[in-house]
Amino acid sequence: MTAVETYAPTPESTRTANLYRLRPGVAFADCWARPKNSADDTYVATPVAALGDEALLVAGSPEPTRLAWVALIEGLTGTSLDFRGGQSSVILFVRVGQQAFALTFGGGWRMLRSGAVDHDFGLNLALRVLDSGAVRTISRTHFGSKARVDRNTVPGGTSLWSFGIREHAELVGQIAGRIRSTESLRISQVRKSERRITIDCTKRVRLPIPSDRANLIDDLREISRLAPCAATSARRSNSWPYRHSDWPTRRDSPRTPCWQSTAPTPAPSANERYRSSRPDDYRADSAAPPPASPTRPEPSLHFISLQDEAERSPSLL
């Protein structure tokens, strides 16, 4: 008998948040740092019970300061304003099995230490769940003297390769789009709506987070199953895009598909030369129909990490 996965009842509400995955073996206390010039008691770390295998809440709000644009308004109008503001910050660390995650709200993402974050997490999940024909946003960096960064958006979604990506010439840093199907990513929001949701993937994943503990743990387990954690380097933050297909390739060049073969064309036979010399109205009846060319499969999305490519070509870094 096939085991049937059971989930908690669907949540009443969800809210979009940023989800990071932490590198293996890093303690929660070493994953965040207080902002500069902040008092020690401004941000407090509190252990959370009964949430995964381990959980820690870091929360704080700086002292409200005078908004920068108030002086401009006062100078233009002569009206005195006393408007103050400040952004609160929250990080919720949760460990589920062998993987640890960080949920950030407000300015919480600024307090995360870059060296504690798995920079391949977002793109690795995108490879497994995104529909390569329904990509909405992609950001890539071109190699060159100016290191140009392009960010393209198609609100309705389009094929990945229609963005004009050059294989092994650009680094993809962000990709957003719809998941392939409701079975690709069985998180609580998908189970609730039975619709393909849109997620935004960089080094983090921006997706709907449920409002109750049971569904949150179920969602983190589902993500852990889809994107297993591996030992990564802190400098791996972008990936090469390349096409992958089961289409047969030339034996002498594994990167050259057979439809791009440069093999010489055989000389035409006597009958073929005779048919080609006749007028078009006769040739249409006598010439055999051209053989149907096989359909080339649509290549899927794959990435090679910058670290892996650098190991092959050390001159890159």
What sign has the CA pseudo-torsion 204, 207, 213, 214?
A: negative
Strands, E assignment, 49-142: 54-60, 65-66, 84-85, 89-96, 99-106, 130-142
pLDDT beyond 70 at 49: yes
**Neighbour count for residue 117 (Cβ, 10 Å):** 22
Assigned domain for 154 exists: yes
Q: State the pLDDT confidence band at 266, using cuts at 50, 70 and 90.
A: low
Share of the chain above pLDDT 70, in %: 69
268 found inside a domain: no
Residue 232 lies in a domain: yes
Between 268 and 40, the more confident residue is 40
Confidence (pLDDT) at 278: 52
Question: Residue 290: pLDDT band by 50, 70, 90 thresholds?
Answer: low
Distance, C-alpha 39 to centroid of its chain: 36
Torsion angles phi and psi, residue 96, rounded to 5? -130, 110
Give the rounded distance of the alpha carbon of 151 from its chain centre.
14
In a domain, residue 114? The reply is yes
Domain range for residue 18? 14-244+299-316
- pLDDT confidence of 147, banded at 50, 70, 90? confident
Burial call 219-230: b when 16+ CB within 10 Å, e when fewer: bbbbbbebbebe
The torsion of the CA quartet 187, 189, 193, 198, rounded to 10 degrees, works out to -90
Query: What gap in Å lies between CA 226 and CA 96, rounded to an integer?
Result: 14
User: Does residue 7 sit within a domain?
Assistant: no
Query: Is residue 273 included in any domain, yes or no?
Result: no
Q: Is-contact 154 136, C-beta < 8 A?
A: yes
**What domain count does the chain have?**
1
Q: 205 Cβ partners below 8 Å, 6+ apart?
A: 18, 19, 121, 122, 125, 199, 223
Residue 281 lies in a domain: no
* pLDDT greater at residue 104 or residue 227: 104
Q: What is the pTM of this model?
A: 0.70
Q: Is the pLDDT of residue 137 over 60?
A: yes
Residue 155: CB partners within 8 Å, gap ≥ 6?
A: 136
| pLDDT confidence of residue 245 | 40
Per-residue pLDDT for 219 more than 80?
A: yes
pLDDT of residue 317: 38
Distance between alpha carbon 297 and the CA centroid of its chain, in Å? 23
Confidence of residue 116 (pLDDT cuts 50, 70, 90): very high
- DSSP states of 294-313: PPPPPPEEEEEEHHHHHHH-
What is the pLDDT at residue 228? 83
Rounded CA gap, 293 and 295, in Å?
Answer: 6
Distances (CA, A) of 298 to 31, 175, 301, 307: 41, 19, 10, 27
pLDDT at residue 30 greater than cutoff 60:
yes
265, part of any domain: no
